[in-house]
Structure 1
Amino acid sequence: MSVYPPDGTPDPRPPLRRRLAELRGPQVPPRPLDARALAALAANPGCRRRALLDGAGVDKNRLAEALGSPAAFGQSQFAIVRGNSFEARVKADGGRELIRLLAEHRSGPALPTPVPGEVLLPDLTAVGPEGRAARTALALREATEAGAWALLDHPMLALEVAGTPAFLEPDAVVVRPDGRWTVVEIKSFPMVDGSADPAKVGAAARQSAVYVLALERIAGLVEGASVDHSVLLVCPKDFSNLPTAASVDIRRQRSVTRRQLERLTRVEELAEGLAEGTCFDPERPREELTAAVESVDAAYAPECLAACELAFHCRERARAEGSVTALGRSVRGELGALTTVAEALEAAGSHAAAGPEDPTAEALRRAARLRAEALAEAAARPGPPAAGTPAAAPDSPEDP
């Protein structure tokens, strides 16, 4: 990465990129967004903190470690090696096995299964992500015009997110003879008796929805091209290393992801609200980093623990502030204007805190009454004998 010294030399970068580089730190290269991060970002569009950090290319994992709240999730090295080995097996033989699986699970009109030698394998080699994205778009156009089966191995797709480009790399994209493009997701978790873990399938569907949105931008410029809204999920069959597949309809995930990404505040607007000199360089002192991070609003929810590197830091802050977001999005939605636990408790126990016409306060007061009645009933109910105390013997006919 080029670093422009403060010696009066004009910085040729656009103002936005220059500003984002200042937020990362002059010596810190940007961390590119991937589909997994975009899916997590779309699931929580109200979090301005994540939108800014991801848009600026900040390494949130290093940032969390510098803040003293390192992330506790991620793939093990064994899982990565196993996944790479399985993907190589699926794509062996020039991708013919993968095309066969797609032909078996196609969602469109019947198409002939290709014979050896009929699968095009475009060369996607280029310099930099921009070059690879341009080469991928050209390969998609050429394969569509050829009217043949084509397999694009790890193509590069571009998608604008919050005003900044994000470069995405799906496992594969297949071009069918009828001009339809299908995203292929290859995962290492097993598919037992034709079904897999619903949570993992859902995560793969959300990730694939991002790829579909990026492909649609290219398909709109290619005559006769269309993007399939059913992606091919390839997994190991049962507990073997043999591939099997299933077609996953991602229309709902695509609609949700598109709507959420459109709601994201543009990165330049978020950056404009920061104080001069704000920087998220992990090499800076912890106090300075904490102040910089806290200067950007967050929207923490327990679901963040499985998707964001800063989740533990945000959870600690939410608990310290007594924010109801730490209790979950559903609770936050039910409480309405009550944003802290203290406000909710006050509304539950005092008519002065909120008028009787407030449905939220009335529901809290009713819940508090029911809880008090349940506790009183439990306290009045005789409990089991204490440990070591002999139980009374049952009455006997021989007793006087």
Structure 2
Amino acid sequence: MDARALAALAANPGCRRRALMDAAGVDKGAVAEALGSPARFGQSHFAFSRGHAFEARVKADGYSALLRLLGADGRAAAPELGAPGPRGRVERTRLALAEAEPGGWTLLDHPLLALEIAGSTVYLEPDAVAVAPDGTWTVVEIKSFPILDGAADAQKVGAAARQSAVYALALDTVAEGRTRPEIVLVCPRDFSNLPTAERVDIRKQLAVTRRQLDRLTRISDIADALPEGTTFDLRPGPDGVTATRPREELAAAVECVPAAYAPECLSTCELAFHCRDRARAAGRVEALGRSLRGELGDLTTVEAVLAAAHGSAGEPSDPAVAALRRAAALRGEALAAAAGPPPSAPLAPPRAAAEALDADALGGAR
């Protein structure tokens, strides 16, 4: 898992399918392609290269541009964070944070943090962490989308804030209370490649992400509930190359893990189009939106909703059933009013009616 995957899980903590596949390192995009429902989003190679080039520019010349944006005067300490293996890098990051000199700036370039999620250790790598002279820690997130006239795309800023909230939670495990509840978001200014920065308050994202991640089911519990031999391998042959797995077999393996589809998944999960197709085929109401699903209570299918609305199912004491029946009655009244009463006499042909009107007009003129 990474911070982006954890942020998506925090937005939809009930999806065991994504939790298990991300924890197992499954290529969900390849699985969706094999299932015939490829993802229609993703970062292009051009955007990926542009992002790396912009980050390199921000950190060039001894991090001079980044330090200026942070408000630091002069140079900052930049400890070496290299170590063998992820655990070694995590421990080296802990030591660097502990050894940061008070009264000066310390900049950690791509530190590695660890966070326990659903019984699994997740390693997270923010773009940078700045240690201020007062000893507080600030997550620095570098993105290649522009800030135009002091404003950036709200959806992209929100995604960066949710991702950074995961980094801040991981920093809190090192020393609680030292991580600032805001991030420094560095982006290109206007249509240039010059970096500019904005401070983004992430207190709301921190609270939501912490609460949602605590609700995740342990990965081991999800795996224990799977049938023996379940695999998402696309080529399960002896050598892993020659055999291509049948689509039906792969789909059956995916269906072994419960999903919690919502329309918001379409912009965050590679399997969203497959899950949407399955939800629509089964007539599940979550395909219509998470808020509607919450309001309908025990009515989980469109068939059950229609039956409750027409009085053939459901308890009248159920608020959802009562609201549906009231809505059905109002709809019936509106359709009846729109149809109007039947005409009492046949209408005259258009030409005869016009001649009658002309005669009346002439008589009035006389």
- Scaled by the length of structure 1, the TM-score of the pair is 0.81
Matches within 5 A, 1:186-225: 186-220=142-176
The corresponding residue for 1:274 is: 226
1:35 aligns to 2:11 (yes or no): no
How many Å separate the matches in 1 of 2:92 and 2:338?
71
The corresponding residue for 1:129 is: 86
- C-alpha offsets along residues 89-116 of structure 1, whole Å, 9 cap, x if unaligned? 211221122122122xxxxxxxxx322x
Deviation at 1:149, TM superposition (A): 0.6
The corresponding residue for 2:320 is: 360
Deviation at 1:371, TM superposition (A): 2.3
The corresponding residue for 1:346 is: 307
Deviation at 1:374, TM superposition (A): 2.9
Taking a change above 3 Å as real, the CA distance of residues 204 and 398 of structure 1, as seen in their structure-2 partners, is same
Do the aligned partners of 1:96 and 1:114 also contact (CA within 8 Å) in 2?
no
Do the aligned partners of 1:318 and 1:326 also contact (CA within 8 Å) in 2?
yes
* Further displaced range: 77-86 or 324-333: 77-86
How many Å separate the matches in 2 of 1:333 and 1:250?
27
How many Å separate the matches in 2 of 1:329 and 1:282?
31
Amino acid at match of 2:130: V
Do the aligned partners of 2:21 and 2:28 also contact (CA within 8 Å) in 1?
yes
Among 212, 215, 222, which residue is 1:260 paired with?
A: 212
Among 115, 120, 135, which residue is 1:179 paired with?
A: 135
The corresponding residue for 1:232 is: 184
Taking a change above 3 Å as real, the CA distance of residues 152 and 356 of structure 1, as seen in their structure-2 partners, is same
Matches within 5 A, 1:263-302: 263-283=215-235, 284-302=245-263
Taking a change above 3 Å as real, the CA distance of residues 236 and 381 of structure 1, as seen in their structure-2 partners, is farther
Unpaired segments ≥5 residues, structure 1: 1-32, 104-112, 383-388
Matches within 5 A, 1:147-158: 147-158=103-114
Do the aligned partners of 2:111 and 2:128 also contact (CA within 8 Å) in 1?
yes
Amino acid at match of 1:227: T
How many Å separate the matches in 2 of 1:146 and 1:178?
7
SS for the counterpart of 2:140 is strand
Among 231, 248, 269, which residue is 2:200 paired with?
A: 248
Deviation at 1:396, TM superposition (A): 8.2
Matches within 5 A, 1:356-395: 356-380=316-340
* Further displaced range: 49-58 or 317-326: 49-58
Matches within 5 A, 1:45-84: 45-84=13-52
**Paired positions, count:** 343
Do the aligned partners of 1:55 and 1:162 also contact (CA within 8 Å) in 2?
no
Deviation at 1:151, TM superposition (A): 1.3
The corresponding residue for 2:346 is: none
Unpaired segments ≥5 residues, structure 2: 236-244, 343-349
Do the aligned partners of 2:102 and 2:135 also contact (CA within 8 Å) in 1?
no
How many Å separate the matches in 2 of 1:62 and 1:328?
26
Do the aligned partners of 1:125 and 1:135 also contact (CA within 8 Å) in 2?
yes
SS for the counterpart of 1:229 is strand
The corresponding residue for 1:138 is: 95
How many Å separate the matches in 1 of 2:51 and 2:341?
57
How many Å separate the matches in 2 of 1:252 and 1:94?
33
Deviation at 1:398, TM superposition (A): 11
Identity of matched residues, % = 66
* Runs of 4+ residues deviating >4 angstroms: 395-399
- C-alpha offsets along residues 340-372 of structure 1, whole Å, 9 cap, x if unaligned? 00000000001x412322211110111122223
How many Å separate the matches in 1 of 2:81 and 2:113?
11
Deviation at 1:130, TM superposition (A): 2.3
How many Å separate the matches in 1 of 2:358 and 2:131?
86
Do the aligned partners of 2:131 and 2:138 also contact (CA within 8 Å) in 1?
yes
